């Protein structure tokens, strides 16, 4: 039996992983649950892990795997999703589920660091779970190059799945095209007529640019870890 706060946190983590392909940060969890400090989130995370609902993967930032959901939250299509880190042995009682896969084109590399050239042509196809590409719009994949998004659970060499779209909400992780020649993967925020492209690594500065110099090319909807 979970407490109300434990249930709220588990549901928030699930929703953010379904939406963005990566789990929320501790600050985002704290804000969503209206808690005063991150220590409360640590206690809730520990309680969920002790009860077998989630697993934290060692030595990785924001590394959470959802193992199961309470009956009230379960969906017939739910499958545990690893978002971070090397996969340890599957715990006893975890049952693998066969899921449909679809192919999407891999368009080259995307910078999570110093911007590189704009998205390249299709290099090959990659099979991804159908749940990652559900909904409207075209999808494509990019290979991540750099470490500026590591605290969002996105590592150098990972493959990100992108839904093609030209708009974004504040907080979305997007493919942004800067001045029509630099492509980068960053968190998007708009304020007035300016766009902030935020890294998830303190070693990188936030880029703030006039709205006309940034074009959204797509939104992150999934991530495939390359081991």
Q: How many CA atoms lie within 13 A of 87 on its CB side?
A: 14
- Tokens 């590409």 correspond to 133
- Tokens 């499958």 correspond to 79
| Nearest alpha-carbon partner for 16 in 222, 190, 226 | 222
The answer to whether 9 and 41 are in contact (CB under 8 A) is: yes
The answer to whether 164 and 219 are in contact (CB under 8 A) is: no
Residue 109 among the catalytic residues: no
Q: How far is 213 from 171, CA to CA, in rounded Å? A: 19
Instruction: Point out the catalytic residue in the list 30, 131, 186, 219.
Output: 186
Residue 30 among the catalytic residues: no
Instruction: Point out the catalytic residue in the list 148, 191, 196, 215.
Output: 148
- Strand residues in the chain grouped as ranges (E): 54-56, 64-66, 101-111, 116-117, 124-129, 139-145, 159-163, 173-178, 182-191, 194-198, 207-210, 214-224
Coil, helix or strand for 148? coil
| Catalytic positions | 148, 186
């Amino acid at each position: 039996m979970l407490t109300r706060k434990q249930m709220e946190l588990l549901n928030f983590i699930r929703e953010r992983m379904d939406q963005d392909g990566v789990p929320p940060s501790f600050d985002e969890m704290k804000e969503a649950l209206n808690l005063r400090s991150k220590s409360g989130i640590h206690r809730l995370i520990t309680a969920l892990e002790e009860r077998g609902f989630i697993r934290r993967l060692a030595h990785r930032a924001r590394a959470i795997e959802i193992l199961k959901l309470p009956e009230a939250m379960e969906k017939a299509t739910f499958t545990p999703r690893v978002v971070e880190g090397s996969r340890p042995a599957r715990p006893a009682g975890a049952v693998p589920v066969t899921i449909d896969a679809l192919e999407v084109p891999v368009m080259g590399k995307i910078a999570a660091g110093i911007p590189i050239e704009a998205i390249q042509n299709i290099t090959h196809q990659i099979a991804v779970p159908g749940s990652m590409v559900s909904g409207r719009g075209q999808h494509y994949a990019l290979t991540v190059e750099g470490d500026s998004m590591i605290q969002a659970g996105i590592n150098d060499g990972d493959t990100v799945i992108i839904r093609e779209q030209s708009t974004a909400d504040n907080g979305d992780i997007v493919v942004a095209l800067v001045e029509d020649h630099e492509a980068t993967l960053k968190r998007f925020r708009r304020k007035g007529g300016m766009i902030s492209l935020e890294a998830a690594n303190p070693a990188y500065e936030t880029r703030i640019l006039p709205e006309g110099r940034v074009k959204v090319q797509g939104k992150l909807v999934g991530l495939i870890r390359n081991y």
